[in-house]
Chain A
Amino acid sequence: MSQRNHIDRLVLFVVLLLMVASIVVVYSASSTWAFQKLGSASGLVNKHIAKVLIGIVAIFIGMNIDYHKYKSFTKIALIGALGLLVFTIAIGGEIKGAARWLNIGGFSLQPSEIAKFALLFHLSILLATKKDKIADYQNGFLPLMLWIGAVVVLVMLQPNFSTGSVIFVLGITMLFIGGAKLKHIVLSLLPLIPLLLLYMVSAEYRRKRLMSFVHFITSFLGFDDGTAVAATASTTNYQLWQGIIGFGNGGILGVGMGQSKQRDLFLPESYGDFVFSIVGEEYGFIGTVFFLSLFLIILLRGFRIAKNAPDDFGKYLAIGITCTIIIYALGNALVTLGIFPTTGLPMPFVSYGGTAIIFSAFAIGVLLNISSQTDLHPRLKKEKPRTPVDAEPAVGKVY
């Protein structure tokens, strides 16, 4: 099926805007660190620019490939991704800290990132194929849950708890939207709760983070006064505390482009997971709300694309892609704001970091391809209305 209509230009514009803005933000946020470590203020942003450029190319590639073409090899891709995860974990045993990354020709790939998208694509196919059978535990829910579980467990074994959790949340969300029985979802979540609690208290720093998080929530609800929060935060979670100072220092209008003080080695990872704080400091409340609005647009348009997708595969794929981006964006914002416990989540398109931006950009390209196959943006005004292309032949039994 070829592209029949225009893509959703607003989504493309918003994503490009985020990517371009990220160059400015990452430059400011990384300049001090880069100058100290690399001897040049632009030492880090240059790498980021390269990834942004590749990302833009990735959008256009994704946009121009008919998303139906992925159908045939999502399963192999997912199995391959699982293999990569196993491989990196095996290596990780030997080289400390290498488990999350895989270096291929100078580029460091995150196998978890590949696995995430492979899972997302495959779940979309499965959901589209199984349709109502998803309500059946044995033949519908369980096989999908096994795929999700396999990816999540391997990612968590890296160990990368935060990405694992997000993938889990994403998988459950897709099952939920795909029509899985609530009973099944709840029952499979229940045994995880004690496991999660055990994990939370298993390390000193996690306990502290948890406590500071509890303090934040209680103060937020007015049970606690701010000083206790400040004291806990400043001692137990320096990074979060500095991030919040960054937001606060920005005030309503911000201190201005490139004027961040928190980036001057006060806020660790100021260009990475905590880049949103720098946005808050430099552009203020206006800036942070604007950034959130951009993601809100992606959410609304993404769901609209899903609803109008020509088939269920397109629909679930659009939802999956949109949810990935939004869950990461919201997760990141809420972590930096102290609402969620601190964990390493990058802000899509904005944070400096790895190849994630390229994968996300490609995913947006796929979303745009789906949008071009709806009737939302007709190429010709007088083209006659189309019926939804839901009635495609089943691909067969696929798990």
Chain B
Amino acid sequence: MKVFNSEKKQTNDFVIPSQQIHKVNQKDSRLLTVKIVLLLLFAIASLRLLQIQVIEAPSYQDIARKQYEAKMILPAERGIMYDRNGNVLVSNSQYVSFAADPKIVGNDVKEVAKKFSAMFGKPESEYIEKLRVKKRFVWMERYVRSDIAEKFFEKKIEGIVEVKEPKRLYHYDETAGQVLGIINAEGKGVSGAEFTFNKKLRGEDGFVIMQKDGRGNKRPSVEYPRQEPISGNSLSLTIDITYQSIVEEELRKGVERTNSDAGIAVMVQPKTGEILAMANYPSVNPNKVTNLEVLKNRTIADMYEPGSVFKIVTVTTALQHKLVTLDKVFNVENGRYKIALTKNESRVITDFHPFKTLTFAEGVAQSSNIMMAKLSNTIGPERLYAQAKNFGFGMPTGIELSGEVSGDVKSPEEWSQTTLNTMAYGYEVGVTPLQMAMAYAAIANDGVLMKPYIIQKETDASGDVVYSGEAQPVRRVIPKDIAQTMKDLLVKVVEEGTGDGAKIPGTSIAGKTGTSRKYVNGKYEEGSYTASFVGFYPAENPEIVCLVILDKPKVGGYTGGTTSAPIFKAIAERIINNKGMFTSVEKPKEEQEEKFEEIKTPGKIPDVQNIAVEEAKEILEENKLRYKISGKGTIVQKQSPLPGKIAKEKDIVQLTLVDTSIVHRVVTVPNVCGMSIRQAMNTLTAKNVKVVFAGSGVVIRQTPTAGTALKNGMKVMLYCEPKTIALQ
């Protein structure tokens, strides 16, 4: 049998009549041709698949991934800033912004604009204009409160996207504005503490890989790991917001009263170097910065010629080197002292209060420049210069805040003929307000200069303290006895001398006035002064050092004694009244000491939780423990330190009370509606509740609502509105 192709073999189980063979075979060969062509195409397809799916697959996989994966940053929550007492100064609030893709909105411009106009009250034309822009992205409405946004966006609008935007919320508006600073649109700190501590505050952004479809719609993908953001560290500043508010308010009033150009004030704790307040006027509200110029924290970034307040350098040098005694008599030339410089040139030093003679102590109290000039001749340049440096002038104080300048204290070889005499009363030298405050703090602190600091503690996202600010002595500037003498002299300044404007009955205040001509355009300008007062109290055990500087006071005098000292007084008075402390006369000390008698033997701290407050007090008093009560109510809800800890001397047991009307020990979310954000924050944080804000001003709504059982780590969302709106 003639066989044309092998295919035939397998089907040979029947016999093909021989006459048909050639015909069949001819056609079979054509069938085979078609089959071969088709098989070839199969082979080509397979080879092409091999090329794309095996050999070149990685590059296509790359292209594909780029197409459908979109990395979305999960922004880290920026750290919160507290004051020394745990009041929230800066926190974050969630807002929603609406953006449009004008291309997608397309022909619905009018309709969309109408919807926005109806909700946000702006004219339709404004939105229409935005939507006519030939871009793919345009902001329609920014920083909308989230509940309003939710209502508005219940029904999605084609072409409109909502973007959640965190907004930094500065709870006290302009209070401590320059100290806290601001962040820019990218959330990076650009001034103040926000800038200096940006790394600590910013945290670490997380990300989530989103899956994108061909139209650019994104959705989270479960296949990829999600990197959760790590919240920034929280900072507790040494600032006391109450003091800060008082200082700023009084400074503002002082500036307004005297019609000064500006005002600066610094308040520090002399024993530790903690900054309690730093004020700059004109102030800035970080929530809405309009003038970037005023963002500068002049307390550290500006230097000035201090004038008489610098005399402590001269006085302490003279005392330390025993060049003078308190009752040594000086001829103070009736207020005019002429010094011959060359044959034809001379220089006149004047005193504001002219006297014929003064004892050294009186000379300090009356702030005699002539006496200082004379004294400086006996001190000599080297010793005066060394003492100035000792007090920390001419070098940065080392405070954590950035932007600090070192001031300008020239070394004697650079001095002019007049420098020794004029520096003795505070000219030809540049200092920062903080340096000056720290120098006085050194005197208040028995002669030891402290390094100023503003971070009390840094807490990470999990609540662990990662850094604690500590009192750091820099050096002993003067012996303790000299410091004591200096203190006494400064008390006299206030009691009998130029600083009497700062006198407060019942409190002993030490201080010094300073008035310096402003050096403008190469000469000391007539009628243009820097007036300052720096002091501390109570003089016997100083707790607070405060420096007040006015720039160009024009009304009601120009001297530190008449303009700045009253501001210092107002501040000190208010703090004394506010805290009921530092008053040595009105409230006898013994009364307090009796109550807080120290415990002799260390015991364990008893458990006083969940019992009546009266009972708790008794138990604690029996154990000779001091206590502090916060909150209202009759039952102790929480105590700190916790029971079982070894009680140490001076331990204060903090008791948090709870209202019994709130059912038996089931802790619930308190009602904070109607409260200011500050109050609400304090109320809620006391209960260990995390607070999220929307808006600012007064709380108008809260979720969960008051009375909901409280869980640990619970978040409460507060919706706020500016007071004016809330009242309507």
Contacts and interface: CB of A to CB of B under 8 A. Distances in A.
B60 A248 contact: yes
Given A244-B60, A248-B63, A307-B11, A288 B53 contact: yes
B30 A292 contact: no
Contact of A262 (B31, B44, B64): B64
A362 B167 CA distance: 67
Nearest to A32: B213
A266 B49 contact: no
B53 A264 contact: no
B61 A339 contact: no
Contacts of B49: 247, 280, 285, 288-289, 292, 337
Contact of A247 (B46, B52, B213): B52
A149 interface: no
B45 interface: yes
Interface in B406-465: none
Interface string A172-194: 01001111000000000000000
A248 B59 contact: yes
Contacts of A323: 34, 38
A34 interface: no
A115 to B, nearest CB: 22
Interface in A306-330: 306-308, 319, 323, 326-327, 330
Contacts of A242: 214
A327 B41 CA distance: 10
B579 interface: no
Given A179-B27, A248-B61, A264-B68, A386 B14 contact: yes
Contacts of B59: 248
A257 B23 CA distance: 50
B64 A249 contact: yes
Contacts of B57: 248-252
A8 interface: no
Interface in A70-120: none
Nearest to B8: A307
A245 interface: yes
A388 B46 contact: no
A265 interface: yes
Indicate the size class of the contact surface on chain B.
35 or more
B35 interface: yes
B42 interface: yes
Contact of A177 (B17, B27, B61, B68): B27
Interface in A237-288: 242, 244-252, 261-262, 264-267, 280, 284-285, 288
B48 A296 contact: no
Contact of B45 (A245, A249, A267, A330): A330
A251 B53 contact: yes
Nearest to A330: B41
Nearest to B219: A264
B14 A248 contact: no
A339 B213 contact: no
A307 B26 contact: no
A396 interface: no
Contacts of B60: 244-245, 247-249
A334 B43 CA distance: 11
A138 interface: no
A390 interface: yes
Contacts of B58: 251
B163 interface: no
Nearest to B14: A385
B211 A264 contact: yes
A350 interface: no
Contacts of B33: 176
A299 interface: yes
Contact of B213 (A244, A250, A265): A265
Interface SS of B by simple majority: helix
A333 interface: yes
A264 B69 CA distance: 12
Contact of A337 (B26, B30, B45, B54): B45
A262 B63 CA distance: 11
A292 B214 contact: no
A366 B552 CA distance: 108
A66 to B, nearest CB: 21
A387 B20 CA distance: 13
Interface centre among B20, B31, B49, B211 (most CB of A within 10 A): B49
Contacts, number: 139
A189 to B, nearest CB: 15
Contacts of A247: 49, 52-53, 60
Contact of B64 (A248, A265, A289, A330): A248
A334 to B, nearest CB: 6
A245 B14 CA distance: 51
B31 A266 contact: no
Interface in A24-82: 32
Interface string A224-243: 00100000000000000010
Nearest to A254: B53
Contact of B54 (A249, A252, A303, A376): A252
B52 A337 contact: yes
A244 B16 CA distance: 49
A252 B53 contact: yes
Interface in A330-379: 330, 333-334, 337-339, 375-376
B45 A292 contact: yes
Contacts of B23: 132
A182 to B, nearest CB: 9
B52 A248 contact: yes
Contacts of B52: 244, 247-248, 280, 337
B16 to A, nearest CB: 7
A333 B45 contact: yes
A220 interface: yes
B85 interface: no
Contact of B30 (A176, A266, A299, A338): A176
Nearest to A299: B38
Contacts of A295: 42
B215 interface: yes
B334 interface: no
B227 interface: no
B53 A390 contact: no
A337 B48 CA distance: 7
Contacts of A285: 49-50, 53-54
Contacts of B214: 242, 264-267
B653 to A, nearest CB: 61
A249 B58 CA distance: 8
A284 B211 contact: no
A266 B190 CA distance: 42
Nearest to A280: B53
Interface in B1-21: 7, 11, 13-17, 20
A330 B7 CA distance: 23
Contacts of A32: 213
B56 interface: yes
B34 A176 contact: yes
B708 interface: no
Contacts of B35: 299, 303
Contacts of B63: 245, 248
Nearest to A306: B31
Nearest to A333: B45
Given A245-B67, A251-B61, 19 more contacts: A132-B23, A176-B34, A179-B27, A226-B56, A242-B214, A248-B60, A251-B57, A252-B54, A266-B68, A280-B53, A292-B42, A303-B35, A304-B11, A308-B11, A319-B31, A319-B34, A323-B38, A338-B48, A375-B13
30 contacts: A177-B27, A179-B26, A242-B214, A247-B49, A248-B53, A249-B64, A251-B57, A252-B54, A262-B64, A264-B213, A265-B215, A265-B217, A266-B67, A292-B45, A295-B42, A296-B42, A299-B42, A307-B7, A308-B11, A326-B38, A330-B42, A334-B48, A337-B45, A337-B49, A337-B52, A338-B48, A339-B45, A376-B11, A386-B14, A387-B14
**Which are the 10 A-B pairs with shortest beta-carbon distances?**
A248-B60, A265-B214, A264-B213, A249-B64, A285-B53, A266-B214, A251-B57, A261-B68, A265-B213, A337-B48
